[in-house]
Amino acid sequence: MKSYDVVINHKGFMNLAIIDNILHQLRMYLFKKSNEKLLRKRVYSLSVECLDNILKHSDLNEKDHELIKNYPPRFIIERIAGDFIIHTGNIVLNENKDELIPRLDQLNNLELEDINSLYKESLANAEISKKGGAGLGLIVMAKTTRQKIKFDFEKIDNKFFYFAMQLNLKQ
């Protein structure tokens, strides 16, 4: 029988204090339940990247906005038979969806060696965006998981989509 555990399940508003709490809970879980130091490090760093992306790249961050109530940011980690699955979700503008799809498709079509090369190239040529990122987040996720990034966009209205992503981290 496979073991199953919900490690983290956060749905709702996200800020730095909430992220700190989530990461503290995750750190405690990983030290109690995982003996593999490299796996712990990969799960933790991937979680930091995901939470950072939710915080920086959600296109709607008003805590009491009606859309946030119906489509809350989410961060969920499950552990199934030693593997970790991370689910994220946040609201993005239509034009950002149109930028994300080609980037995700490109990463999903690259071999690990090519992802590593893209990472090094992007790191050398990185410019900080208005949102404070250097465009490395998705590359880091693909590099860390060594798996295809699963994603979906659910249309909310003519302006917004709900961007859902799943990352699988094999033991």
Percent of the chain scoring above 90 in pLDDT: 71
Question: HSE of 28 in the Cβ direction (CA atoms, 13 Å)?
Answer: 8
Q: In this model, does residue 126 exceed pLDDT 90? A: no
Q: Is the pLDDT of residue 16 over 90?
A: yes
Give the strand pairing for 150-155 and 4-11. Answer: unpaired
* pLDDT interval class at 128 (50, 70, 90): low
pLDDT score, position 134 = 47
Question: What is the set of domains in the chain, with CATH numbers?
Answer: 4-169 (3.30.565.10)
Is residue 23 over pLDDT 80?
Answer: yes
User: How confident is the model over 81-100, as a mean pLDDT?
Assistant: 93
Residue 64: the pLDDT is 64
- pTM of the full structure: 0.90
Alpha helices in 9-161 (DSSP H): 16-33, 37-57, 66-70, 94-108, 112-124, 137-145
Hey, what are 161's tokens?
A: 């989509």
* 101-105 average pLDDT score: 94
Closest CA to 8 of 76, 74, 88, 90: 76
Q: Tell me the percentage of the chain whose pLDDT exceeds 70.
A: 92
Cα–Cα distance measured from residue 79 to residue 171, given in angstroms and rounded to the nearest whole number: 10
- Token digits of residue 80: 């199934």
Q: Please determine, for residue 36, whether its predicted confidence score (pLDDT) is greater than 90.
A: no
Terminus-to-terminus CA distance in the chain, angstroms?
Answer: 17
* Strand order through the sheet with 83-93: 4-11, 74-80, 83-93, 160-169, 150-155
Question: Quick check: 133 pLDDT over 70?
Answer: no
Write phi, then psi, for 162 (nearest 5 degrees).
Answer: -100, 120
